């Protein structure tokens, strides 16, 4: 009797050890689930009413200049954590319709700035008042000192970009490949061959040029006049009004949600 009990207990222990061994082996070969971080899952949420233009119309080219150093300040602008165009939804929808108009003619839009955080606008004020030499003046403002650019209307102390209803936009041929952001260039109002290479089309000046030639109605080459007029027509048909001193700046005039200046970062 005593032997049979010992034998039964031994068998039970052996079975338990075998089950435990099999469980451990199964755990070793099964892949471990690693929770994805919030950044890997999806882009950061935007305030209600805002959208990323890339999600609304990925065919519109983007070269968001203030996210990098090739702009009139010479450094990435505060508030730009990514090179993304963000706009209020009705503005993005209208821009997509303008893109469709131009695509039918063989052209595409190329945006350089969209929503702009308030902190970015404030950094422009600090930049203009700083005694630090303007090392990018030879490119972006060859004849106008930075201290005069607010008074002359090239930079605003309060911007509709911060509301999400303004866009800086140029024109490219639809068949042309994307161009990298320039790293250097000649004066923005100089010959097209020496200006920043932004498009195969001549628009009279480079983008963000603080110069009289940047005015939409300025006397430019016949090709530049045709391209500016084409851009203005397509955008005006969808509710955008051009700013007369800058051929690239357009404000959306159609209905939008209640407007206020925002300061969430671009990312």
Strands 249-252 and 61-62: unpaired
Is residue 246 annotated as a catalytic residue, yes or no? yes
Q: What's the farthest any 2 CA atoms get from each other in the chain?
A: 115
Q: What is the DSSP string of 125-153?
A: HHHHH--S--TTHHHH-SSS-GGGTTTTT
Task: Tell me the β-bridge partners of 167.
Answer: 250
For residue 81, how many other CB atoms are within 10 A of its CB?
Answer: 13
249 labelled binding-site residue: yes
Residue partners of 148: CB distance under 8 A and separation at least 6: none
188-201 per-residue burial string, b: 16 or more CB within 10 A, e: under 16? bbbebeebbebbeb
Is residue 265 within 8 Å of 255, Cβ to Cβ?
no
Among the options 84, 198, 238, 246, which is catalytic? 246
108 labelled binding-site residue: no
Is residue 200 within 8 Å of 173, Cβ to Cβ?
yes
168 labelled binding-site residue: yes
Please tell me the distance from the alpha carbon of residue 131 to that of residue 181, in angstroms, as a whole number: 28
Q: What is the CA radius of gyration of the chain?
A: 28
Binding site residue list for Zn(2+): 161, 168, 249
Binding-site positions read 161, 168, 249
- Which residues are the active-site residues? 246
């Amino acid at each position: 009797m005593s032997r049979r009990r010992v034998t039964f207990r031994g068998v039970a222990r052996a079975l338990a050890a075998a089950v435990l061994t099999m469980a451990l082996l199964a755990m070793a070969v099964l892949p471990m689930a690693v929770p994805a971080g919030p950044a890997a899952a999806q882009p950061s949420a935007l305030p209600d009413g805002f959208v990323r233009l890339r999600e609304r119309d990925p065919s519109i080219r983007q070269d968001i200049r203030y996210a990098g150093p090739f702009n009139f300040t010479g450094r990435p602008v505060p508030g730009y954590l990514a090179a993304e165009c963000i706009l209020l939804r009705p503005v993005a929808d209208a821009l997509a319709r303008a893109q469709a108009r131009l695509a039918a003619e063989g052209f595409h839009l190329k945006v350089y700035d969209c929503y702009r955080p308030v902190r970015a606008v404030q950094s422009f004020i600090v930049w203009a008042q700083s005694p630090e030499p303007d090392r990018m003046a030879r490119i972006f403002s060859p004849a106008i000192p930075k201290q005069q650019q607010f008074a002359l209307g090239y930079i605003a102390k309060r911007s509709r970009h911060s509301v999400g209803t303004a866009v800086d936009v140029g024109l490219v041929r639809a068949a042309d490949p994307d161009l990298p952001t320039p790293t250097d260039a000649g004066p923005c109002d100089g010959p097209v061959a020496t200006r920043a290479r932004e498009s195969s089309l001549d628009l009279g000046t480079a983008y963000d040029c603080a110069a009289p030639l940047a005015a939409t109605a300025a006397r430019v080459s016949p090709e530049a006049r045709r391209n500016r007029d084409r851009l203005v027509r397509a955008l005006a048909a969808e509710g955008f009004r051009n700013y007369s001193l800058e051929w690239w700046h357009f404000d959306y005039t159609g209905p939008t949600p209640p407007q206020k200046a925002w300061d969430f970062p671009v990312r």
